Amino acid sequence: MRKLLNGSEGTLIGVNGFKFSHTASVSAIEAEIKQSLGQLATEWGVDFEDAPTSLNRANLAIVAFVQNAQSYQILGSAMASVK
């Protein structure tokens, strides 16, 4: 599963440097996943029998990408485990 913290448009990096900070609740993300799967099940007329309702907190990571806004080319990425 994924969560785009600043939405699908991301965050533009200015020419004078960049710093991004965000705090997220794993419980809130789990609730959003459950809600999203429920909406999809209704829209598609399906039942997700083995739908994940909780995240394995021992196996979470944050991934960040730096991407060219015009060409969508990925310029760099980083990953960090969640503690």
Q: Is the dihedral of CA 41, 44, 50, 53 positive or negative?
A: negative
Q: Answer whether residue 68 is part of any domain.
A: yes
Q: What is the per-residue pLDDT for 44?
A: 94
d(CA 2, CA 63): 10
- Quick one: pLDDT at residue 77? 92
Which pLDDT does position 43 carry in this prediction? 95
The pTM score is 0.61
Q: What is the DSSP letter of 48?
A: -
Length of the chain: 83
The reply to whether 65 falls in a domain is: yes
Domain of residue 76: give its range: 26-81
The pLDDT tens digits of the residues spanning 62-73 come to 888 888 888 989
Domains of the chain: total: 1
45 inside domain: yes
In a domain, 66, yes or no: yes
Which residue numbers in the chain have pLDDT < 50?
Answer: none
Q: Is residue 7 included in any domain, yes or no?
A: no
| pLDDT for res 2 | 64
